[in-house]
Structures are given as C-alpha cells and as structure tokens.
C-alpha cells in the first residue's frame, strides 16, 4: 500500500466543504471525501504545532512524551538513552519502517521547531525551500510531485507532506482572497456588539492586538489578506476572507497533487489522509487568528480518510463517523489497516473498523492540552467543554470555564457557576486522566506542572505586554494581567537579564526573511523567483 498523509497547518475543519462550510473553499478535498470516511469529532490531544505533531507521531499524550509547549523543558521529547528506538514506544515512522515501509517527508517542521526527533520518523526528509515554515503550497507540491514521479513504480511507502498556507500570515495571491469574498457572506457571528466587547479581552492575537508579537506591536504584513485589528464587522470579514482565501489556495494545490496521482496511474491504490495539526480561533473567547487556547476551534481537526478498496465502496451513511477520537489514534489505526501490531507504549486506540465502515465505540470524554500561549487543559464530552487554566500567559484567560458546545458553538455563555454538578464531573474526568498518566508510581513528572514557574511566556513577555497595554490607554487591563500573574506567586518575567531576549533574536531572524523574500507569486507560483 502507498500512503500519503497530508498535514495542513491551521486548517479549521468547519471552514472546509466536507464539514458543511457555506463557502466553496475546498472542492478538491470534497471530491476526495466523496470516496472517503470523514471523521466529525477528531481532536488533537495537545496543541499547537509542536505538541500536536509530537503526539501524532509518538502515539502518546504530551504529558507522557514530554512535549506540551514550544519552549525549554516544556518542549523536550523524552527519549531514553541507548541505541535505536524504544521497542514499546517507537515513533510512527519507525514502526512502519519495521514493517517494511519506506518513509519520507516533505516538511520543514523539524527545523522550524527544532524538533529533530521528527526526522527519526523518516528514511528521507526533504525541505522544499530554505524557508523555516510558511512555505507556499506550490513549493511543497513541486518537491512532493517530483518525489512521487521517482517512486510511482514502487510500493509500500509512506509520504508525509506539510502545507502551511492557512497559518498566519496569509501569503496567498490576493486573487484568492477576492474570490472567497465574492462567493458568499461571512458568518453572522461575531456581531458588532460582540466585537466591541472583545476590546476588553487582551492578549496577543486579541481584537486590538491582532499583530502584537514577541517583538512588539505591528501592522498587517499582508494588508490585502489581513486587517491591522478587529474593530468592526468589516475587519472581521476582511480576516475571514483572507483565511478562506488561504484555504482555497491550498485546496487548489491539493487538486494538482491528486491529478498527479491520476497521471502516474497510482490514484486507485494510494491511500490519502488529510488532516491538520490544530485549528484556529476566530473570535471565540476573544481570540482571533490564533491557536492559543485549549478550546474547540483550536483542537478540533478535519480528518478525511481515503483507503482504496475500503472507503470507496462504502454506502453513504458509513462515510461519516462521529466518535470522539484523538490524533494519537491515527498511528495504531494505520498499523491495524496494514496488519501490524501497535506498540504497547502508545496511548491511542485504532479506529480502523470505522474506515472499514463498521460502527465503533466512542470515548466518554477527551482531555485536551495547550502549552504555547497559555497553559490549559480541557475536557470534551459529546456536548460540553470544560477548560482549566494553569497559567494565562499574556492572555485574559479565566481559571475555569464550562460551555455547552452543541448549543453554543461560539463559546459565548460560561456555565461554570450555573452548573456546579456538571463542573464537578468534568473536574473528576480531568483528575482521572491526570492520575492515569502522571499520578502513578513510575510515571514521569507532568511537564506542564514542572514548568509552571516559567509558563508559556516564550512568545510574549508579560512585563513588555503590560507596558504595551499602558502605552495604548489600557492600564486597567495591564493591572488585570499583573493581578492574575500575582496569584500564581511566580516571577512576572522569565527573561534573564544577562542574555539577549529570545524575542530580539526572533525579530532579527524575521527581518532577515522579510527583506530576502519580497517577491510576489502568481496563482500557481510558477513565476516566483527562487531565493
């Protein structure tokens, strides 16, 4: 079997056609979905990018594999010393390799996040460009289709492709944004009153600080595709048009990739799996164009799963499955479908029966964790979402929240005070899960608890951000942030005085990339000069 796993950074499920989006953003993904199983309740166990992909390829929750964030000890993958992979918990690519599969990737993810263990999944790793992420889809396709042409006459390979287009900043040609703006209205929520109220929600990628980052305030680097801030419905529509344009631009290149499979004569015997590392908030809880919370829009993922000989013969009712699933379930599922045993150290459960069109049992609940912009864990049942904040970072995050997601998909009504029994039950689920993975003899320390004194302050320094709030006439919000951090009884700033701030180094690196790569692209990227 040939397998292509397509990993689309920041692809929000409900902005795609298979998940009922009202705009035609993904016709090529829909064509694939017509012969696939689409999973409606598929979630990343850990977010954002580094924790999610580590969980996916390790088959383990971040609380066990060590990666719950993007910085320092919170981002250190736990590998025992010795020669070769651990037999009870190999990476997905290692397990496939033991089964005779040639594994390859076109992805800059390992370099972007210094996640060099990710390379251990693959015999061959290809960087499409010298950019550290945010590669355009045409560059990824160029490398991917070249690889496919060289391996089309071979069998038993697994190819992982990472696309970045829906991740901010939206760098697609403006025509794609205009196309989405012309094809249908933007969703009605948030309305003007909600957007006005969001001025009191502070934090990077909040309404008034849409482009605030580790090196200070900024304006939109892509004015046609993103506004400077969200002050009105017009700004929100501008933002959504840019995001949808990025999704449509990626989908266009998905179509070219699928056409290449047809041209090579291997489309009918190549499995194609499309998913994401995380989603994106667009106003939920006051967060815009960011994946910084353990909430529904960040953790819910698309999963379109085509497996030749199985999914293409299923009746329509079997093409959708709504069991509560994790992305760590993918690794044992692939092993199951390929007739391989799943290692004992993986935490996921195979959903291969659903790929075969058979019913599967759903979990009672999922536990989801975030550790890059806030430290949060949440519990997702079929209808409800409970969120517990351990460290707010620089974001106005409440310590506990409870939502009825089925009735309140935009997370506007907090039930934590009105539903004490339900809140207690959700806390119990979280405690049960924590005790299973970190509260038993032999378990390694929970990296979220072990790094709580530092917290998720890699991207944004609370001292600098509080000063920014005061400089922009929001002293009351600076005081609120400082008061929340004071309750933790930890230093407000993590930056050591005797070394350059990571933010300053990052700023220099971004400036270098921006000055080097200012060439426009055409709709297919064919005329883009190479650096």
Residue range 209-254, pLDDT digits in tens: 999 987 789 999 999 999 999 999 999 999 999 999 999 999 999 9
Distance, CA of 157 to CA of 347 (rounded, Å): 24
Distance, CA of 25 to CA of 18 (rounded, Å): 10
Say if residues 207 and 287 touch (Cβ distance below 8 Å).
Answer: no
3-state secondary structure of 377: strand
Distance, CA of 349 to CA of 361 (rounded, Å): 11
Say if residues 106 and 5 touch (Cβ distance below 8 Å).
Answer: no
Residues of the chain with pLDDT > 70, as a percent, come to 92
Distance, CA of 516 to CA of 531 (rounded, Å): 8
Per-domain boundaries in the chain? 2-184+243-359
**CA–CA–CA angle 204, 206, 209 (5° rounding):** 60
Structurally, at CATH architecture level, domain 2-184+243-359 sits in 3-Layer(aba) Sandwich (3.40)
* Bond from prior residue into 48 cis (ω within 30 degrees of 0): yes
What's the Cα-to-Cα distance from 105 to each of 7, 109, 190, 214, rounded to whole Å? 11, 10, 39, 30
Read off the pLDDT of residues 114-168 as tens digits, 9 standing for 90 and up: 999 999 999 999 999 998 878 999 999 999 999 999 999 999 999 999 999 999 9
How many angstroms from the chain centroid is the CA of residue 106?
18
What's the Cα-to-Cα distance from 7 to each of 57, 272, 337, rounded to whole Å? 12, 11, 20
Say if residues 10 and 298 touch (Cβ distance below 8 Å).
Answer: no
Confidence label for 489 from pLDDT (cuts 50, 70 and 90): low
Distance, CA of 281 to CA of 391 (rounded, Å): 19
83 or 4: which leads in pLDDT: 4
For position 216, what pLDDT does the model report?
Answer: 84
How many angstroms from the chain centroid is the CA of residue 45?
10
| Long-range contacts of residues 71-77, Cβ cutoff 8 Å, at least 24 apart | 71/372, 71/454, 71/456, 71/458, 71/502, 72/451, 72/454, 72/458, 73/447, 73/450, 73/451, 73/454, 74/371, 74/447, 74/448, 74/451, 74/454, 74/456, 75/50, 75/51, 75/113, 76/447, 77/115, 77/117
Model pTM score = 0.92
For position 431, what pLDDT does the model report?
Answer: 98
Distance, CA of 257 to CA of 272 (rounded, Å): 11
What value does the mean pLDDT of the chain take? 92
Distance, CA of 297 to CA of 288 (rounded, Å): 11
Strand segments (E) across 315-374: 320-321, 325-326, 366-370
Confidence label for 490 from pLDDT (cuts 50, 70 and 90): low
* Bond from prior residue into 350 cis (ω within 30 degrees of 0): no
How many angstroms from the chain centroid is the CA of residue 336?
25
Residue that is written with structure tokens 């939109």 in the block: 220
182: Cβ contacts below 8 Å, ≥ 6 apart: none
Distance, CA of 384 to CA of 381 (rounded, Å): 5
How many angstroms from the chain centroid is the CA of residue 391?
20
Distance, CA of 184 to CA of 144 (rounded, Å): 33
Reply yes or no on whether the pLDDT at 497 is more than 70. no
Say if residues 317 and 302 touch (Cβ distance below 8 Å).
Answer: no
Read off the pLDDT of residues 438-463 as tens digits, 9 standing for 90 and up: 999 989 999 999 999 889 988 889 99
Confidence label for 512 from pLDDT (cuts 50, 70 and 90): very low
Read off the pLDDT of residues 323-368 as tens digits, 9 standing for 90 and up: 999 999 999 999 999 999 999 999 999 999 999 999 999 999 999 9
Structure tokens belonging to residue 224: 């046609």
Reply yes or no on whether the pLDDT at 409 is more than 50. yes
The mean per-residue pLDDT over the stretch 401-418 comes to: 98
* Bond from prior residue into 169 cis (ω within 30 degrees of 0): yes
Q: Which helix (H) or strand (E) holds 499?
A: none
């Amino acid at each position: 079997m040939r397998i292509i796993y397509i990993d689309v950074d920041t692809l929000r499920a409900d902005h795609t056609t298979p998940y009922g989006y009202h705009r035609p953003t993904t016709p090529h993904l829909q064509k694939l979905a017509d012969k696939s199983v689409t999973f409606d309740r598929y979630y990343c166990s850990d977010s954002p990018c580094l924790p999610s992909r580590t969980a996916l390829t390790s088959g383990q929750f971040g609380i066990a594999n060590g990666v719950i964030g993007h910085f320092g000890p919170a981002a250190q993958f736990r590998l025992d010393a010795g020669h070769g992979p651990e037999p009870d918990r190999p990476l997905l690519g290692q397990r496939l390799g033991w089964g005779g599969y040639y594994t390859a990737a076109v992805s800059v993810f390992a370099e972007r996040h210094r996640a060099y263990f990710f390379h251990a999944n693959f015999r061959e790793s290809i960087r499409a460009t010298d950019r550290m992420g945010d590669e355009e889809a045409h560059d990824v396709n160029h490398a991917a289709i070249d690889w496919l042409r060289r391996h089309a006459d071979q069998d038993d390979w697994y190819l992982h492709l990472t696309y970045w287009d829906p991740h901010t900043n939206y760098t697609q040609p403006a025509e794609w944004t205009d196309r989405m703006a012309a094809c249908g209205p933007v969703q009605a929520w948030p309305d003007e009153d909600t957007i006005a109220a969001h001025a009191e929600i502070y934090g990077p990628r909040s309404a008034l600080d849409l482009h605030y980052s580790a090196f200070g305030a900024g304006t939109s680097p892509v004015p046609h595709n993103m506004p400077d801030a969200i002050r009105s419905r017009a700004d929100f529509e501008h933002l959504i048009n840019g995001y949808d344009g990025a999704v449509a631009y990626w989908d266009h290149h998905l179509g070219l990739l699928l056409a290449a499979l047809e041209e090579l004569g291997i489309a009918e015997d190549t499995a194609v799996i499309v998913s994401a590392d995380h989603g994106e908030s667009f106003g939920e809880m006051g967060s815009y164009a960011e994946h910084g919370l353990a909430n529904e829009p960040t953790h819910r993922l698309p999963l379109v799963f085509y497996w030749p000989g199985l999914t293409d013969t299923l009746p329509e009712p079997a093409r959708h499955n709504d069991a509560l699933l994790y992305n760590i379930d993918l690794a044992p599922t692939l092993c199951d479908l390929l007739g391989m045993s799943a290692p004992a150290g993986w935490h996921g459960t195979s959903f291969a029966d659903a790929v075969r069109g058979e019913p599967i049992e759903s979990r009672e609940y999922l536990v989801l964790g975030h550790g890059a912009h806030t430290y949060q864990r949440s519990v997702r049942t079929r209808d409800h979402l409970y969120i517990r904040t351990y460290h707010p970072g620089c974001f106005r995050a409440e310590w506990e929240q409870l939502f009825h997601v089925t009735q309140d998909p935009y997370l506007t009504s907090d039930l934590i005070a009105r539903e004490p029994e339900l809140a207690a039950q959700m806390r119990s689920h979280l405690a049960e899960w924590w005790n299973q993975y970190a509260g038993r003899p032999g378990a390694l320390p929970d990296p979220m608890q072990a790094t709580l004194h530092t917290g998720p302050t890699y991207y944004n320094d609370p001292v600098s951000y509080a000063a920014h709030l005061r400089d922009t006439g929001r002293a009351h919000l600076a005081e609120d942030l400082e008061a929340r951090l004071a309750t933790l009884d930890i230093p407000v700033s993590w930056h050591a005085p005797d070394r350059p701030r990571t933010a300053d180094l990052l700023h220099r690196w971004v400036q270098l990339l921006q000055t080097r790569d200012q060439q426009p692209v055409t709709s297919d990227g064919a005329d883009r000069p190479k650096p």
